[in-house]
Structure 1
Amino acid sequence: MSFNVVTSSFRVVRREREAGAEALRIGLIAGVAAVLFCLIGAYVALDKRDVVEGVASFAAVALAAIALVAGYTSAATANRQGRTPRRAVLLAGGAGLAVGACLALMVLATTNLGIRTILVAASPALVRALTFGTTAGSSGQIFLLLAAGFGLGAIGGALATLVPERLRRAIIRGVFVVIFAGLFRDVFFSIASNLPGGVDRMIYGSAGIRLWPAILLFAAVVAWTILRAAAGKPSAARTGGRSKLSIVLLVATVLVLPLITSDFVAQVAMLVALYMLMGMGLNIELGLAGLVDLGFVAFFAVGAYTVALLCSNGPLAIADVSFWVALPVAIVLAAVSGLVFGLPVLRVRGDYLAMATLGLGEIVRVLVLSDALAPVLGGSQGIIEIDRPVLAGISLNTPAELYYLALILAGAVAFISWRLQHARIGRAWLAIREDEDVAQALGIDPVASKLVAYSVGAAFAGAAGAVFAVLVGSVFPHSFQLLVSINVLAILVIGGLGSLPGVLVGAMVLIGLPELLREFGEFRYLFYGVALVAMMHIRPEGLWPAESTKREMADA
C-alpha cells in the first residue's frame, strides 16, 4: 500500500491565531529565515550580482522579498479575520519589523560578541552589506534595519489589502520580469548586442539592467497585464491560437538561441539539451510507468564510456570509428544494460525499487573506479582524446554545433516518447502506474511492461551519455555521481511528471538558470531544495503538467 493511500484520509489543520499573534509568528519565522540566509554566506555571495545596476543586488532583492512576503501573508490573515485595512497594514509592518529585529540582533552579535569564530559568514563584510556601509556598532545600523523591515512589511501589507487584485498581479509580474531581466544580464546583453545603435549599452550596464530601462520595462509589463485582463477571458479558439503561437515562439527561440548569443550561453543550452534527453528517458520510467529509478546515471555512463572506447585516440581505445557508428552502439548497449539491470529489481515496488536501483547505480560507479577494470576503462584517470563528430567533412567542435546535435537527438527522442505514450504500451504503463494489481487483473504483464520502460529509458540516457562524451572530449568517473540522477528526478518534479514539455521547462529552470549563475554554485542545491518544497505547496502538478495530471488535480 502506498504512502498516499495511507495518508489520504488525514489532513493536518493548524488553528489560526489572532491576527496580531499570527503576524508576530510569521515575522519571527521570516526573520529566522533571513538570518540563516545571511549566516550561510548566501547574502555576501549574492550581493556580488546586481539586478538593477547600482540600485539593488540579488541579495538585497532576496532579503527584501522575505520581509515583503511576511507582510503580505500577515495582512492576508488580518483580512480573513475581518480587520480594517489600516489595522492589516500595521500588522504587516509589525511582521516586517520582526524580520528587521532578527537581522539587527544578528548584526549586534556579529559586532559585539565575535561570533565569527563559530560562524565564518558573520563577517564585517556582511554587516557593511546589510547596513549600506554605516559605522559598525552604531545605533544607525539598528534603526536602519528596523525601519527597512517595517517599511517593507507595510508595503507587502498594502499590496495585499489596498491594491486591487488585477493591479496587484500586474505589479508582481512586473517585478519578476525586471528581476529576471537583470539577473540574466549576460544572456539578454548578448542578444541585444546584435541590434544596431548600441542598444545593449543603453539597456545594460556592466553588472545589471540600468535604472531607467528597468522602470520602463516594469511599466510596460504592468500596462500589458492590466490591458490583457481588461480584455476579458479569451474564447477557446483564441486560447488555442495563443497556445500554438507560444509553441512556435518557443521552438523558434530554441533553434536560434546559439546563433544570437555567446559561446557560453550556447554551452549552457547544450547542457539543457542533454538533461532533456535524460529527462525524457526517466519520464518513460517514472512519469509513465511509475518506476522510481535512482540509479539512472548508470545508463548515462554506459553511453558515455561506449563512445569513449570507440572514438578515442588514446591508449585505451578499442576501435577508431566515427561517432555516427558509435552512437547506435551506445544506445543499444545502454538499452541492454537497462534490460539486464531491470531483471533482478523490477519485481519489487515503491521505496524498495528506489533503493534497489540506487544500489545498481552505485555498483556501476564503483566498478568504473575499480582497479580490476582500470586497464579497460581507465579508472580514476578516465578516457581522453575523444574525437568530435564529423558531418559532411565538417568537424562539430563548437558548443553551438554540438547543441544542434543534441537538439536533433532530443527531438527524435521526444517524437518516440510521444508515440509510445499514445500507443498500447503507453496505456499499459499508465495503468501500471495507477494500480499495478488492477492492471495485472486486466491482462497486462507488469514485469514485461516495466522491462520495456526500463530499457527504453536507459536507451535515451545512453544517447545523452554519447553526446556528453564528445562534448567534453573526455570521460571521468566523477561525472557520473548520484547527483546526476537526483538532478534528472528534480527536473521531472518541477516540470511535471509524464509531460514532455514539462521536461523542457524543468531542464531550463533547474539546469539552465543555475549554470548562468555559476558564481552561486555552492548554493545550487539549497535553491533546488527551496524550489522543490515551494513547488509541492504551490503547484504540485509541475510547471507544465500533463493533461491527465491537470484533470486529476481539478477533480481532487
Structure 2
Amino acid sequence: MSALTAPDAATPDTTAASAAAPPRPVFAQDWRRIGRMGAVAVLGQFFISLSNMPVRLDGRTIIEGLLSLGYLSLVIVPFAVGTRVGHQVRREGVPYHAAGAHEVVGGAVIGALAGGGLSLLAILIANFDIREPLVNWSPILADLLAFGRGTAFAVVIWLIIGAAIGAAGGLLRVVPAVARRVLWTMVLAVFGAAVLEALVEDLAEGMHIDSVTDWFYASRGGLTITGAVVLAAGSGALAFVGRGRVRRARARVEMLEGAARSKANLVLILATAAVLIVLPMFAGKLTNELLANVGLFVLLALGLNIVVGLAGILDLGYVAFFAVGSYSAAVLTAATSPRIHPELPWFVALIGVVVLTGLVGLFIGAPVIRMRGDYLAIVTLGFGEIIRLLFLSDWLSGWFGGSQGITNIPGAEIFGLAEVSGTDPRSVFYLVLAFCAIAIYVSWRLERSRIGRAWMAVREDETVAEAMGINTVNVKLLAFVVGAVLGSFSGAIFSAKVGSVFPASFLILVSIVILVVVIFGGMGNIVGVIAGSAVLIGVLGGPKQPGLLAEFSEFKLLIYGALLVWMMLARPEGLIPSVRRTRELHQEEMAQDAWLRGQTEDDDHGNEADASRRAEEPA
C-alpha cells in the first residue's frame, strides 16, 4: 500500500503548475534579499532627494493640503520595494506560494528601511554641511523632510511612513485581483486628473463648463479633497462594474476575421479620426499647441519606427533627416534665405524637400548600410552630428545662414486658401494630423507588403535573410530612404510652424528622445509608437517643447533614462507591442516554459508507470 500511495503524495509537488502552495510563515523572510533591496532603496532615496526633485516638484499639488508631487517622489520607492519584495516568478512546472501576511510583513520591513534612508539623510543634513560638492544639500531639503517640525520628527515620521507604504505595497499582493484592479484604477484616476489639470481646464473653458472644474480643482492647483474622493469613488465603481468587459470586447474584436474584422477596424479608425477632428474645435491654445507638438513627434517616430522597429537598424542620427527637411523647406520658401530664395509655395516646395531628403538618405545609408549592430549605430550617430555641424559651419553660412539660421519663414499655404503658422496652433495640428494619417497608411501598407516582410526578416536574423535570397543591402537602404522621407515631413511642418530654423534645434538629443519614444511605445507597432509619443511628449515634453508637467523640465533626461532602463529589463517589447516582436523577445522564455511543462508531463507519466508496475508485482 505504501508503494502505491507514495507517488501520488509526491505528485502535487511536481505537477502543481497553477495551484499555489500554502502561504509562507510570517517571519520566514529572505533576510538577505530584504537587506540587498533595502540598501538599494536607501541609495535610491538619497539620489532622488539630492537631485532636488522633491524640492522642485513640491510646488505641484496632487491633492490640496495632503499630497504634492514632491512628497509623492519620496514615497514611490518604499511602495515599489514593498510590492517587489514578495515577488515570485511563476512558470510552468515551478510551484509558488499563495500570498499572505508574509508579503505584508516583508513589505513593512523593507519599506521601513527605505524610509530610514530619509531619516538618515535628515540627520546628516542637520549635522554636516557638505554643500560644496552637493549643491542640493540644503536646509530647504531638511525642512521638507521634517515637514517643518525638526530633525527628530523627520527620523520618526519617515520610519512610520516607509513601513506603512511598504506594507500597503505588500498588501496589494494579498487582496483579490478585482480589488487590486479597482484600487489601481482609483489611484491612477486621481493622479491623472491632477497631472492633466491644465488640459482639463483648457477643454472645460472651451466647452463652457468651468463650474465643474472649479469644484474639482483648488484655486492654487491640485484636486480638492472632495473632488479627489468623488473621482476615486466614481472611477472605482466603474472599474468594478466594467471589470472584464473591455477585455472581452477586445477579445471579440480579435476573434473577428475577414470582412467583419475589417469593418470593426474601419469603425474604430473613423471614431478616432472624428475625435481628433472635433477635439481641437473645443480646445484652447494650450491644448492645440500640445497636440501639434505631439503630432510632430509622432511623424518622426513613425519614420524611425520603419528604420528601427521594422528593419532593425539602430539609427542614432535620425535628427539629420529632420534637419534636412526643415532647412530645405526654409530655403525653398523663405525670402530671407541667404543665396537661393525661389519663394515657392509650401506644397510645391514639399516635393523638393522629399527629393532632397531622399538623396541625403541614400548618401548617408550607402556607405554604412553594410555595417551591423553597434558599428552601424556609432556611424549613424556621427553622420547626425556631421549634418548639424555643416549647417552651423561658416563654410555653408552663405547658403544656410550658419549660426544665425534662416528667419521669417512663411507659413504653409493650403492651396492658396489658408496659411498655417505657429500663431494658429489649431491649423498646425490639422496639418500635422493630415500628414500623420499619410504616414500611418504608408507604414501600414509597407509593413504588410513583401518589402515589409523582408525588413522583419532582416531584423530577426540578417544572415538567414541573406541566405534566403533577400538583398539585405537594398532592403536596408530602402528603409533608410522611407524613414528619411517621413522625417522630412515633420521638418517641413516644423519650419513653417516656428518661422525660423537654427542648428541648435537639431541636437543629437532629438534622435535619442525619438528612439526612447519608439522603444517605450513598442517597436514595430504603429499604435504603440503613437501611444509612446502621446505619453512621453504630451506629459514630459520634448527636448525643448514643454509638456503638461513643466516642473519636470530639468528632470526629463533622468526620467527618459529611467524609463528606458525599466523597459529594457521589465517589458522590452514596449507599452503596446506588436505580436511578432513579443514572440521574438520572449522566445527563450516560452521555450523554457515548454521544456518545464514537458518535463512535468514526463514525470507524471513516469510516476503513473511506476505505480502501475508496482501494483502488478506480487506482494
User: What residue is the counterpart of 1:157 in the other structure?
Assistant: 170
Deviation at 1:338, TM superposition (A): 0.3
What is the distance in 1 between the residues matched to 2:255 and 2:62?
35
Q: Aligned AA for 1:383?
A: I
1:425 counterpart = 2:451: yes
Match of 2:351 in 1: 328
Match of 2:402 in 1: 379
Cα deviation, residue 393, structure 1: 3.3
**Alpha carbons 2:335, 2:341 under 8 Å: kept:** no
Give the Å deviation of 1:409. 0.7
Query: In the alignment, which of 207, 221, 231 is matched to residue 235 of structure 2?
Result: 221
CA-to-aligned-CA distance 1:53-89 (integer Å, 9 cap, x gap): 2221112122222112222223446999869944542
**1:187 Cα deviation from its structure 2 partner:** 0.6
The answer to whether the 8 A contact 2:202-2:286 is kept is: no
- What is the match of residue 474 of structure 2? 448
CA gap 1:81/1:114 in 2 versus in 1, 3 angstroms: farther
Report how far residue 554 of structure 1 moved.
6.3
Deviates more, 1:437-446 or 1:328-337: 437-446
Partner of 1:21: 32
**Separation (CA, whole Å) in 2 of partners of 1:98 and 1:186:** 37
Residue matched to 2:199: 187
Correspondences of 1:250-265 after superposition (within 5 Å): 250-265=272-287
- From the superposition, tell whether residues 77 and 360 of structure 1 become closer, same or farther in structure 2 (CA, over 3 Å): closer
Q: 1:41 aligns with which of 17, 38, 52?
A: 52
Counterpart-to-counterpart distance in 1, 2:185 and 2:157: 28
User: Structure 1 residues 197, 410: CA separation in 2 closer, same or farther (over 3 Å shift)?
Assistant: closer
Matched residue SS, 1:474:
coil
Gapped regions of structure 1 (runs ≥ 5) = 1-16
8 Å contact from structure 2 (residues 301, 529) kept in 1: yes
Give the match for residue 6 of structure 1.
none
What are the superposed Cα offsets for residues 250-305 of structure 1, whole Å, 9 maximum, x if unpaired? 44443333333331221121111111111111111111111111111111111100
Q: Partner of 2:368: helix, strand, or coil? A: coil
Superposed CA offset, 1:15-52 (max 9, x none): xx942332333233212211210101111111111112
**Worse overlay, 68-77 or 452-461:** 68-77
Partner of residue 383, structure 2 = 360
> Which residue of the partner structure matches residue 212 of structure 2?
199
Structure 2 partner of 1:72: 83
- How far apart are the structure 2 equivalents of 1:371 and 1:441? 47
Identify the residue that residue 516 of structure 1 maps to in structure 2: 548
**SS of corresponding position for 2:501:** coil
Q: Equivalent residue of 2:137, what SS? A: coil
Whether the 8 Å CA contact 1:28–1:95 is kept in 2: the answer is no
Change (3 A) 1:271 1:56: same
Structure 1 residues 112 and 252 mapped into 2: Cα distance closer, same or farther (>3 Å)?
farther
Query: Using the alignment, how far apart are the partners of 1:73 and 1:439 within structure 2?
Result: 41
Give yes or no for the alignment of 1:116 onto 2:131: yes
Q: 1:438: which partner in 2?
A: 464
Aligned partner of 1:282: which letter?
Answer: L
User: Per-residue deviation at 1:248?
Assistant: 5.4
Distance 2:246 2:301 in 1: 37
Partner of 1:541: 573
Whole-Å separation in 1 of the counterparts to 2:89 and 2:355: 61
Q: Which amino acid aligns with 1:133?
A: G
Amino acid corresponding to residue 465 of structure 1 in structure 2: G
Contact 1:19 1:74 in 2 (8 A): no
Say if 2:405 and 2:503, in contact at 8 Å, map to a contact too.
yes
Tell me what 1:481 maps to.
507
SS at match of 2:62: strand
Match in the other structure for 2:116: 101
- 2:37 and 2:158 map into 1 onto residues whose CA distance is 18
**Farther off after superposition, 228-237 or 277-286:** 228-237
* Matched-pair contact (CA < 8 Å) for 2:79–2:169: yes
C-alpha displacement of 1:509 = 1.8
Q: Which amino acid aligns with 1:503?
A: V
Q: Contact (CA 8 Å) 2:337, 2:399: kept in 1 or not? A: no
| Cross-structure match for 1:309 | 331
TM-score w.r.t. the length of structure 1 is 0.91
Partner residue of 2:411 out of 376, 384, 388 = 388
**Partner SS state of residue 395, structure 1:** strand
CA contact (8 A) 1:52 1:210 kept: yes
Which residue of 1 is the match for residue 437 of structure 2?
411
State the identity as a percent: 36
Cα 1:240–1:261 shift into 2, 3 Å? farther
Tell me the alpha carbon deviations over residues 527-548 of structure 1, each in whole angstroms, 9 at most, x when there is no partner.
Answer: 1111112222332211111232
**Cα distance in structure 1, aligned partners of 2:239 and 2:255:** 19
* Residue equivalent to 2:146: 131
Aligned residue for 1:211?
225
> Is 2:182 the counterpart of 1:170?
yes
Q: 1:197 to 1:58 in 2, by over 3 A?
A: closer
**Distance change >3 Å, CA 509–CA 134, structure 1 → 2:** same
Residues 109, 115 of structure 1: 8 Å contact kept: no
In structure 2, the residue matched to 1:292 is: 314
Counterpart among 527, 531, 535 of residue 563 in structure 2: 531
Determine if contact 1:342/1:454 at 8 Å carries over to the other structure. Answer: yes
Aligned to 1:276: 298
Which range moved further: 225-234 or 412-421? 225-234
CA 1:428–1:86 in 2, change beyond 3 Å: closer, same or farther? Answer: closer
Cα deviation 1:314-334 (Å, max 9, x = unaligned): 252522121111112111110
1:364, distance to aligned residue in structure 2 (A): 0.8
Instruction: For residues 184-220 of structure 1, give each alpha carbon's deviation from its aligned partner in whole angstroms, at most 9, with x where no partner exists.
Output: 2101111223243611211112311222121122122
Quick one: structure 1 residues 472 and 372, their matched pair in 2 at CA, closer, same or farther if it must change by over 3 Å? same
In structure 2, how many angstroms separate the alpha carbons of the residues matched to 1:266 and 1:507?
A: 15
Secondary structure (helix, strand or coil) at the match of 1:390 reads: strand
Measure, in 2, the Cα distance between the counterparts of 1:336 and 1:473: 25
Q: Which moved more, 1:350-359 or 1:80-89?
A: 80-89
Among candidates 26, 31, 35, match of residue 42 of structure 2: 31
Provide the C-alpha distance between the structure 1 equivalents of 2:478 and 2:163, rounded to a whole number of angstroms: 59
Alignment CA distance shift 1:543-1:41 (3 Å) = same
**CA distance in 2: counterparts of 1:438 and 1:260, whole angstroms:** 53
TM-aligned CA deviation for residue 552 of structure 1: 3.9
Distance 2:574 2:400 in 1: 39
- Which of structures 1 and 2 has the bigger CA Rg? 2
What residue is the counterpart of 2:71 in the other structure? 60
Aligned to 2:543: none
Question: In structure 2, what residue type is equivalent to 1:69?
Answer: A
Q: Aligned pair in 2 of structure 1 residues 331, 102: CA closer, same or farther (>3 Å)? A: same
Q: Structure 2: which amino acid aligns with 1:278? A: L
Distance in 2, Cα, partners of 1:267 & 1:527: 23
Amino acid paired to 2:357: A
Taking a change above 3 Å as real, the CA distance of residues 250 and 47 of structure 1, as seen in their structure-2 partners, is farther
Larger displacement relative to structure 2 (114-123 or 43-52): 114-123
**What residue in structure 1 maps to residue 161 of structure 2?**
148
